[in-house]
C-alpha cells in the first residue's frame, strides 16, 4: 500500500480553468519525492488536496489507505505539513505554538523540539509577530517534524530561509526523517535541493504530470537536443514526435527535451526530420526544467 496515492485528480477554482487535470501521484514508504513546476502549476493545490484541506472535484486521494476527507484527524496526526504561506497565529508565543502542537499530536517529541528550538536560536517566549520571516518558517518546520510524522508534506519549505538556514533545515529534518523511513513529498524552486535530496522528481506542467521519474532515470534516459534552425527542424515538427516533451526556440538553435538517451534522440531527429547536425546531450534537472517550463509543448 502506498503512503500517498492520488489518482486522476481534477481541480479548478474557476469553471473551465483547470489547475489540476487528471494528475497521478504515488509515494511509497521512505521515498523522497521532489515536486517541480512553475508558479501556478498546481503544486500547492496538489499538496493541499493530499492534506484534505482542498477537495478534489474528481479522482481519489488515499493517505495511509485512508481518505483525508473522511478521516481528517486520523490522517493529519500522521502527517507533518509546512505550507508556502504558513500563517501561525501572530499573537502566540513560540512556546504556545509548541504547546498547541504537543496537545494535538500524541507522538510529539519534546526533546527533539527543545533541541531544534535551541539549534535554530529561537526564543520560546518570543511572539510569532516579532519573529523574522525565516524564524517563523523555522517554527513552522519544527512543528512539522517534531511529532515524527510518517509523511512529511512540504510546500516550498526553504522559502524565506537563507542558504545556511536552508541547508541546516534540510540536513536536520528532511534527511533525519528520511533516514528513519518517513515519506517526504516536497515542492521546491531550488532544483539543487531536489537533486540532492529527492529520489524521484515529479514535474507538473499545464495542469498535468509531465515527468515522474527517478533522478537516475532522468539523468540517463532524458536528453536535450540542440537542433539548428532548418526548414524541416521546426518546433512543430519536433513536438509532433511523442518522445519530445518540450521545445524552446532560441537564437542559436531549437532546444528540445526528449525522453530518450542522447544517442536515441539524435537518431530519432535524423530519421524523422532529416537533420543530421543536431547536438544531443544529457542535462541537469535545472536545465531540463528551464527548457520544458520556458518552452512550448
Partner 1 sequence: MNPTLCLFRQDPAHMGLVRAVLTCLAVGIVMRIAPDLGEDVRSLSGNDLPEGFGPFYLLFTAMAAVFVLSSNAWTRSSRLALGLPLPARRVWAVRTGSLVAVALLSIAVLASVMGLGFDLESRRLTMNVVVALTAARASATVMLLICLFQLPHSGRDRIPIGPPYVVYIIGASLLTLVFSSAQITSMAGTLVLLVVAISLGVYLYHRVPPTFSIGPTIEESETPVWSMPDERDFELPEPVGDQSLVDSEEDPTFALHWILFRALKSNILSWLLLGVLLASAWVATLEFFKGTNAFLPLFFLTIYQFPLLQAALESMTPFDPLPISRRMLWAHSVVPIIGSVVIGIGFALLTIVVNPRPYTQITYSECCVKAPWDYMELSSDGRVPTITASWGESYTPTAHPLWKGRTVALYDPFEVGAESSARFVEYQMHRAIEAVYGIQVPAALSSTNLESPPNIADGADQGAFTLEEPRGRMSADRNRTAAVALMLLALLTTVLILVSLLQFSSSVHRKAYKWASIGLTVLVVALAVAVSIARVLGFTEVWYLGALISMGIRSLAHSLPLPTSILWFFCVTFWAGAYLLLERVFCTIEFPREKTMNRFAEVY
Min CB(158)–partner 1 separation in Å: 14
Distant-in-sequence, close-in-space partners of 31: CB < 8 Å, separation ≥ 6 = 3, 183, 184, 199, 200
Min CB(129)–partner 1 separation in Å: 6
Min CB(162)–partner 1 separation in Å: 14
Whichever of 32 and 122 has its CB closer to partner 1, that residue is 122
Q: Where does this chain bind partner 1 (CB under 8 A)?
A: 11-15, 39-40, 44, 51, 53-57, 69, 72-77, 81, 83-89, 91-92, 95-96, 98-105, 110, 113-114, 117-118, 121-126, 129-131, 135, 159
Whichever of 13 and 181 has its CB closer to partner 1, that residue is 13
Question: Using CA atoms, how far apart are residues 90 and 173, in angstroms rounded to an integer?
Answer: 24
Beta bridge partners of 33: 185, 200
Backbone angles phi, psi at 197, to 5 degrees: -105, -35
* Strand order across the beta sheet in which 32-37 lies: 79-82, 151-155, 183-187, 32-37, 200-205, 208-214
Whichever of 106 and 231 has its CB closer to partner 1, that residue is 106
Distant-in-sequence, close-in-space partners of 283: CB < 8 Å, separation ≥ 6 = 222, 223, 224, 257, 291
Min CB(140)–partner 1 separation in Å: 10
Question: Using CA atoms, how far apart are residues 234 and 214, in angstroms rounded to an integer?
Answer: 30
Min CB(65)–partner 1 separation in Å: 17
Min CB(83)–partner 1 separation in Å: 7
Q: Which of 59, 255, 42, 78 is nearest to 150 (CA)?
A: 78
Residue 186, classified by CB atoms within 10 Å of its CB into exposed (0-12), middle (13-18) or buried (19+), is buried
Min CB(272)–partner 1 separation in Å: 40
Whichever of 190 and 222 has its CB closer to partner 1, that residue is 190
Whichever of 86 and 207 has its CB closer to partner 1, that residue is 86
Question: Using CA atoms, how far apart are residues 11 and 148, in angstroms rounded to an integer?
Answer: 30
Whichever of 152 and 265 has its CB closer to partner 1, that residue is 152
User: Cell 538517451 belongs to which residue?
Assistant: 261
Whichever of 51 and 238 has its CB closer to partner 1, that residue is 51
Backbone angles phi, psi at 167, to 5 degrees: -65, -40
Amino acid at each position: 500500500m502506498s503512503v500517498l496515492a492520488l489518482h486522476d485528480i481534477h481541480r479548478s477554482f474557476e469553471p473551465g480553468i483547470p489547475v489540476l487535470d487528471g494528475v497521478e501521484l504515488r509515494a511509497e514508504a521512505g521515498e523522497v519525492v521532489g515536486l517541480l513546476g512553475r508558479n501556478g502549476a498546481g503544486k500547492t493545490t496538489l499538496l493541499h488536496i493530499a492534506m484534505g484541506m482542498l477537495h478534489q472535484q474528481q479522482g481519489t486521494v488515499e493517505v495511509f489507505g485512508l481518505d483525508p476527507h473522511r478521516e481528517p484527524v486520523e490522517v493529519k496526526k500522521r502527517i507533518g505539513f509546512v505550507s508556502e504561506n504558513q500563517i501561525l497565529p501572530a499573537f502566540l508565543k513560540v512556546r504556545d505554538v509548541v504547546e498547541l502542537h504537543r496537545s494535538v499530536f500524541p507522538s510529539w517529541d519534546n526533546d527533539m523540539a527543545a533541541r531544534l528550538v535551541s539549534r535554530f536560536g529561537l526564543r520560546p517566549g518570543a511572539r510569532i509577530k516579532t519573529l523574522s520571516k525565516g524564524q517563523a518558517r523555522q517554527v513552522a518546520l519544527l512543528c512539522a517534524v517534531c511529532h515524527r510524522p510518517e509523511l512529511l508534506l512540504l510546500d516550498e519549505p526553504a522559502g524565506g530561509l537563507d542558504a545556511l538556514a536552508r541547508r541546516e533545515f534540510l540536513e536536520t529534518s528532511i534527511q533525519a526523517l528520511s533516514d528513519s523511513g518517513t515519506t517526504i513529498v516536497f515542492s521546491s524552486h531550488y532544483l539543487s535541493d531536489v537533486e540532492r535530496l529527492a529520489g524521484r522528481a515529479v514535474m507538473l506542467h499545464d495542469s498535468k504530470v509531465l515527468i515522474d521519474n527517478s533522478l537516475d532515470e532522468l539523468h540517463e534516459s532524458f536528453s536535450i537536443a540542440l537542433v539548428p534552425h532548418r526548414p524541416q527542424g521546426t518546433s512543430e515538427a519536433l513536438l509532433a514526435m511523442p518522445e519530445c516533451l518540450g521545445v524552446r526556440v532560441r537564437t542559436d538553435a531549437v532546444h528540445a527535451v526528449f525522453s530518450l538517451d542522447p544517442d536515441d534522440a539524435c537518431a530519432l531527429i535524423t530519421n524523422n526530420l532529416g537533420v543530421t547536425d543536431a547536438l544531443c546531450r544529457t542535462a541537469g534537472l535545472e536545465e531540463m526544467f528551464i527548457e520544458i517550463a520556458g518552452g512550448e509543448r
